[in-house]
Amino acid sequence: MVIRPRPLELSTAVARIGALPKNPSLVALRPSFALCSARYRRRYSGGAAVLEHPADAPSSSAPPPSINGESHEVPGLSNLKVLSADELGIRTSMISGPTHSVLKQLKKKGYDVYLVGGCVRDLIMKRTPKDFDIITTADLTQVKSAFKDCQIIGRRFPICHVHINKTLIEVSSFNTNVEKSESKLRFLKFPNCDEQDIIRWKNCLCRDFTINGLMLNPFSNKVYDYLGGIDDIKKGKIRTVIPARSSFQEDCARILRAIRIAARLGFIFSRETACSVKDLASSILRLDKGRIIMEMNYMLAYGSAEPSLRLLWRFGLLEFLFPIQAAYFVSHGFRRKDKRTNMLLALFATLDRLLAPDRPSHCSLWIAVFAFHDALANEARDPMVVAAFTLALYNGGNMVEAFCIARRISHPHDQTFPELSGKPVDLDSDEDLEREVQDLAFSMESSLSTMTDPYFVSHAMSMYPQAPSSNLVFISFPAYQEVCRIFDCTIHKRREKNFVPKSDEKINYWNLLNGTLPEVRYVLARVIFDTVFPPDMEINDQDAVPED
């Protein structure tokens, strides 16, 4: 059954297309030449998380309690550092408006409020936080009563979701973690300690990594560091709060978060953390599929997909999550610490240049990138076929227009990718080119089917007997259908009805986040074209159109 796609919204054409015909319908293509500017030049950064040589252990004056059966020194209150937010370079303007609204409302009600976790870390590092998390002395029921649009979600770790102007703010309560922290730390005594410090300290001890255990009081402009998180930020180091093995056994999703944070920030792992990630890699198979797709989306849809894939491969997680892609790495002799690139990594490096923590995409986009690459990995294609395919995506399925532009491309393609060195095919006629484009689309659909079939996934690494076996499939059938709709227009022979050209080359990130079909199509076409025909490749053809 063919899934009818929604009307496509035209976007800017891909960069470095040769001389264009003077066709009014193609005028929107010209602004895309600006995409070849320096800010879009290729950069393939290797995953920066590496095994730290010195085995640094956190200093502590507290007694070494046993947590989950392991002896570990818990950072005591004597390690507390209270720093000025101003001195750390944190300004009020760096906090989003909706977050400010929630903070002020809770403060007005008489509750203490703090920003906590990764957002404080990112503010210190002058990075844009993916989101802002708030913790308060109010109970969750009190938080809910303070806002019109607020729900309490979760059973094991309940939190409040507050909706302000299309923005979701997560609010947790200090009281939620009281029982958990008390069960672990009730034997510790706190003579002459400030009660508020004890409350904050206990909450920080329930965090995953020291760099996420920072609290910011936006009204007193104070940052509280009980775990040495600021020192670890300066060192660029990821270290668990409790022993790494215990931490990952307590919540194996922390393994994926460690990879994601390292990829995004370019941090290293402490020796203990690195070893535990490798040893417990298979434990992620116990995670709920919904949790896995959420963590994968955080890795691949927020601007750090390429280094995330490198780290998943380096630490033995790719075989469990994406066995088909792991088999591709092995078949191409890609070593665990390889600094080189390949077409799969190049596609995601191009995608990363268009996304950011505050400009993410819908999961259908990176799933489609996987499907496109797997189709080419299974059967190499002529660059003209790939160009025609992307242009057909771009213009709503108008093959005649796509072929006209594809034949005029004078910019060289990247010849280092074996996926583009297909066997010679006769593309002189539009009928031949159309057949090849449609075959590529059908191959993508086949690749999607393979990625969502446990049998094929479990046999992806069958050629490598020593490789772990995984039949994990976390891409849902609705997601499969959404991705099929993206390239379904390349199967038809005329432009879609109600097709509206995109007025400029800007990405509508709200539509992209929500998976709006025209926007996802546009970004997919742009990613593929700029990878196959990199804007910074030297042009030898004198007839090539210069940049605007």
3 state DSSP class of 440:
helix
Give the pLDDT band of residue 19 (cuts 50, 70, 90).
very low
User: What is the per-residue pLDDT for 492?
Assistant: 74
Instruction: Give residue 501's region: left, alpha or beta (phi > 0; psi -120 to 50).
Output: beta
Residue of 270, 293, 225 lying closest to 85 (CA atoms): 225
Residue of 546, 416, 522 lying closest to 7 (CA atoms): 522
Give the Cα separation of 313 and 46 in Å (integer).
12
User: What is the per-residue pLDDT for 55?
Assistant: 35
Burial of 269 (0-12, 13-18, 19+ CB in 10 A): buried
Two structure tokens written together for 110: 């008489």
3 state DSSP class of 77:
helix
Q: Are 230 and 260 within one domain?
A: no
Two structure tokens written together for 443: 């191959």
- Evaluate whether residue 342 is within a structural domain: no
Residues 6+ apart with CB under 8 A from 314: 47, 49, 336, 337
Give the Cα separation of 206 and 110 in Å (integer).
25
3-state secondary structure labels for all residues of 101-157: HHHHHHHHCCCCEEEECHHHHHHHCCCCCCCCEEEECCCHHHHHHHCCCEEEECCCC
- Name the H helices within 395-476: 399-406, 430-451, 454-458
Q: Are 181 and 162 within one domain?
A: yes
More confident residue, 51 or 376: 376
User: What is the per-residue pLDDT for 397?
Assistant: 87
Two structure tokens written together for 314: 């380096």
- Name the H helices within 379-407: 383-394, 399-406
User: What is the per-residue pLDDT for 452?
Assistant: 94
- Evaluate whether residue 444 is within a structural domain: yes
Q: Are 97 and 220 within one domain?
A: yes
Q: Are 402 and 444 within one domain?
A: yes
- What's the DSSP call for residue 316? T
Q: Are 98 and 246 within one domain?
A: no
Q: Are 378 and 460 in contact (CB under 8 A)?
A: no
Domain of residue 172, CATH code: 3.30.460.10
Residues 113-158: tens digit of each pLDDT: 999 999 999 999 999 898 899 999 999 999 999 999 999 998 778 9
Give the Cα separation of 106 and 143 in Å (integer).
7
Q: Are 149 and 289 within one domain?
A: no
3 state DSSP class of 80:
coil
Give the Cα separation of 521 and 116 in Å (integer).
36
Give the Cα separation of 204 and 485 in Å (integer).
45
- Evaluate whether residue 30 is within a structural domain: no
In sign, the C-alpha dihedral spanning 463, 467, 468, 474 is negative
- Evaluate whether residue 480 is within a structural domain: yes
Two structure tokens written together for 213: 């255990």
Residues 199-257: tens digit of each pLDDT: 888 888 889 999 999 999 999 999 999 999 999 999 999 999 999 999 999 999 999 99
- In the chain, how many domains are there? 3
Residues 437-455: tens digit of each pLDDT: 999 999 999 999 999 999 9
Q: Are 191 and 266 within one domain?
A: no
In the numeric block, the tokens 């959404």 are attached to: 482
In the numeric block, the tokens 């796609």 are attached to: 5
- Which helix (H) or strand (E) segment is 225 a member of? strand 222-225
Residues 6+ apart with CB under 8 A from 487: 368, 389, 393, 441, 444, 445, 521
Give the Cα separation of 218 and 100 in Å (integer).
9
User: What is the per-residue pLDDT for 422?
Assistant: 65
- Evaluate whether residue 230 is within a structural domain: yes
State which of 315, 343, 372 marks the end of a domain: 315
Lowest mean pLDDT among 51-60, 509-518, 524-533: 51-60
- Evaluate whether residue 32 is within a structural domain: no
Q: Are 130 and 185 within one domain?
A: yes
pTM of the predicted structure, to 2 decimals:
0.82
Give the Cα separation of 122 and 32 in Å (integer).
32
Q: How far is CA 303 from the centre of its chain?
A: 6
Domain of residue 277, CATH code: 1.10.110.30
Buried b (16+ CB within 10 A) or exposed e, 438-459: bebbebbbebbebbbeeebbeb
- Evaluate whether residue 401 is within a structural domain: yes
**Range of the structural domain that residue 512 is part of:** 363-532
Q: Are 201 and 249 within one domain?
A: no
Two structure tokens written together for 74: 């818990």
Give the Cα separation of 413 and 384 in Å (integer).
9
- Evaluate whether residue 546 is within a structural domain: no
In the numeric block, the tokens 């294609």 are attached to: 381
3 state DSSP class of 532:
helix
Q: Are 142 and 213 within one domain?
A: yes
Give the Cα separation of 470 and 468 in Å (integer).
7
Burial of 537 (0-12, 13-18, 19+ CB in 10 A): middle
Give the Cα separation of 167 and 189 in Å (integer).
41
Q: Are 170 and 96 within one domain?
A: yes
Give the pLDDT band of residue 395 (cuts 50, 70, 90).
confident
Q: Are 188 and 127 within one domain?
A: yes
CA–CA distances in Å: residue 3 to residues 173, 367, 483: 45, 17, 10
Mean pLDDT value across residues 477-502: 85
State which of 259, 289, 315 marks the end of a domain: 315
